[in-house]
Amino acid sequence: MDLFDKFDALIAQKSSLPFEKADPFKVVMDKVLSETVAIIEGRETILAGTNNYMGMTFNEEAIAAAKEALDNYGTGTTGSRVLNGTYSGHKGLEKTIADFYGMDHCMVFSTGYQANLGMISTLGGVDDYVIIDADSHASIYDGCAMGNATIVRFKHNDIESMEKRLKRLPAEAGKLVVVESLYSMLGDAAPLKELLETAKKYGCTTLVDEAHSMGFCGEKGRGLCEELGVEHLADFIVGTFSKSVGTVGGYCVSNHPKFDVLRLVCRPYMFTASLPPSVVASATASIKALERSGNRRAHLWENARRLHAGLKAAGFTLATETASSPIIAVCLPDPLIATKFWEKLLLNGVYVNMALPPATPAGYNLMRVSVCAQHTTEQIDEITRRFIATAEELGLNVKAA
Amino acid sequence: MANAQTLDRIFELVAPFNKKGIELQADTTFATDLDLDSLTVMDLVAEIEDAFDIILPLNLLPELETIEQVAAAVDRIVADND
Ligand SMILES: Cc1ncc(COP(=O)(O)O)c(C=O)c1O
């Protein structure tokens, strides 16, 4: 028995996709010219699928801080946070994030994936319940699978579906509700106020994953909880450095008085090496810069609205009615057309994410665009033009409104 | 064995998801016989939960392959709740 036999169906499915000149799982960026342009196979390509929302990957202060940390602290910590892997930079970064949120505690993880994995698996004990949205990110599902709690799932962004289920749970049991603020595939926003208020009505502890909203939602860029004025209803906020912050890593902030004990029980925090000093330094500089990036935030939202309006006017079907986030998802009729569209668009010099079922909700076949604050207005219009040209080359029937 | 009434109710709830129009039996499987994908399974689980006013935890789902197994699990959960 070959252990790989179980993947045969997947291998067959993947090889049935009609890629000729490019493969979405094998894109290589040979040169990265800026936050928004890279060289792929010799072609200058506009990056419109990198989650680099605030364009912080080339932030001067972040780069300078990283270089200094490299010189002073070396390339890596070679150790866990609970052994030799905590440098002054790690403590400084945790303080920077806690201050940014105005919260008492912060724990930095090596990725956002591990932050969710660790928080959910550790908080949800064997007698507890973890209540999640059906469209949750893989890191949330995996945190559930790793822990021992009973997992309850409600319909995506459906307050009534959540409340019905909360009503059925024992009143005295420990309950953790986990929701995201902006969902990464369609860019749809959660009705956070209603969800969190309902969770609180049933005595639940709450965790909000702000991976796709930190940096540009809210006046200070803390996320959708800030924007909606519901930070007091979130007991834990999880975030990542891999999107708006422009590097790698994850964090959780909280006011819980016993929060620090997690450092001794949270396995995805303890049993892996801590972030390298250069990453810690650039994350610290980047978050400080994000806090005062009001103009950049405004430009990002302008870009998102402009692209949404342009594609809508051209007749494309979009996953959200309005630009509710910098994620603009274009819906195509079937996986075959999506495959061809993605490939042609890349050859036309625009990189976006292709997302197909089962990775997408409701069976959507998506060209997922993530807009960057450093995209110029000209680049946004160019992306729209190349979408239109690609549709024409494929003879796709999109009707201008 | 699941309660006959429970089994009948589950047959009713599964019927709208029986797109292939096969004959539903106690040992009909969701993945193979009914060819349900994970999104559809989710909708079906929600229907069953609401019909019996219970929670079918996500942790249980991998063990529930047939209609009979779901009915038996529903009976157990209903009994536990009383
Ligand atoms: C909602 C959500 N949570 C968590 C993560 C994990 O973030 P990271 O890239 O830091 O592991 C992601 C990103 O993939 C995400 O989309």
Distance A211 CA to ligand 1 centre (A): 6
Buried b / exposed e over A364-400, threshold 16 CB at 10 Å, is bbbbbbbbbbbbeeebbebbbebbbebbeebebebee
pLDDT tens digits for B6-47? 999 999 999 999 988 999 999 999 989 999 888 889 899 999
| CB of A135 closer than 6 angstroms to any ligand 1 atom | no
pLDDT the model gives residue A189: 96
pLDDT the model gives residue A14: 83
**Cα–Cα distances in Å, from A127 out to A115, A175, B57, B75?**
22, 9, 13, 21
Distance A247 CA to ligand 1 centre (A): 12
- Mean pLDDT on A212-241: 98
pLDDT of A401 higher than 80: no
- Mean pLDDT on A342-367: 93
- Which chain A residues have a beta carbon less than 8 Å from that of B50? 164
C-beta contacts of B1-4 below 8 A and 24+ residues apart: B1/B68, B1/B72, B2/B26, B2/B68, B2/B71, B2/B72, B2/B74, B2/B75, B3/B71, B3/B75
* Phi and psi angles of residue A290, each rounded to the nearest 5 degrees, phi first: -60, -40
- Which chain A residues have a beta carbon less than 8 Å from that of B39? 357-358, 361-363
pLDDT tens digits for A41-90? 999 999 999 999 999 999 999 999 999 999 999 999 999 999 999 999 99
Measured in angstroms, the CA of B55 and the nearest CA of chain A are apart by 7
Question: Is B63 an 8 Å CB contact of chain A?
Answer: no
**Best mutation site among A51, A114, A139 for ligand 1 pocket (most ligand atoms within 8 Å of CB):** A139
Domain with CATH 3.90.1150.10 in chain A: 10-54+294-393
DSSP B22: P
Measured in angstroms, the CA of A333 and the nearest CA of chain B are apart by 18
Average pLDDT score over chain A? 96
pLDDT the model gives residue A102: 97
Q: Which residues contact A302 (CB under 8 A, 6 or more apart)?
A: A377
Q: Nearest residue of B to residue A129 by CA position?
A: B57
Residue nearest to atom 7 of ligand 1 (CA): A112
Using H for helix, E for strand and C for coil, what is the string for chain A? CCHHHHHHHHHHHHHCCCCCCCCCCCCCCCEECCCCEEEECCEEEEECECCCCCCCCCCHHHHHHHHHHHHHHCCCCCCECCCCCCCHHHHHHHHHHHHHHCCCEEEEECCHHHHHHHHHHHHCCCCCEEEEECCCCHHHHHHHHHCCCEEEEECCCCHHHHHHHHHCCCCCCCEEEEEECECCCCCCECCHHHHHHHHHHCCCEEEEECCCCCCCCCCCCCCHHHHHCCHHHCCEEEEECCCCCCCCCEEEEECCCCHHHHHHCCHHHHCCECCCHHHHHHHHHHHHHHHCCHHHHHHHHHHHHHHHHHHHHCCCEECCCCCCCCEEEEEECCHHHHHHHHHHHHHCCEECEEECCCCCHHHCEEEEEECCCCCCHHHHHHHHHHHHHHHHHCCCCCCCC
pLDDT of A383 higher than 90: yes
Ligand 1 atom closest to the CA of A112, numbered from 1:
10
Question: Is B31 an 8 Å CB contact of chain A?
Answer: no
Of B37, B54, B58, the CB nearest to A153: B58
pLDDT band at A25 (very low <50, low <70, confident <90, very high): confident
Instruction: Tell me which architecture the domain covering A10-54+294-393 has in CATH.
Output: Alpha-Beta Complex (3.90)
Q: Which domains, from first to last, does chain B contain?
A: 4-81 (1.10.1200.10)
Question: Is B47 an 8 Å CB contact of chain A?
Answer: no
Helix axis angle, B38-52 to B67-81, nearest 10°: 40
| CB of A319 closer than 6 angstroms to any ligand 1 atom | no
Domain with CATH 3.40.640.10 in chain A: 60-291
pLDDT tens digits for A175-217? 999 999 999 999 999 999 999 999 999 999 999 999 999 999 9
pLDDT the model gives residue B81: 83
Percent of chain A scoring above 70 in pLDDT: 100
pLDDT the model gives residue A400: 62
Domain boundaries A60-291, CATH class: alpha beta
pLDDT tens digits for B38-81? 888 989 999 999 999 999 999 999 999 999 999 999 999 999 88
pLDDT the model gives residue B78: 93
CB contact under 8 Å between A358 and B58, yes or no, is no
pLDDT of A21 higher than 90: no
pLDDT band at B1 (very low <50, low <70, confident <90, very high): confident
- Mean pLDDT on A161-176: 97
pLDDT tens digits for A261-309? 999 999 999 999 999 999 999 999 999 999 999 999 999 999 999 999 9
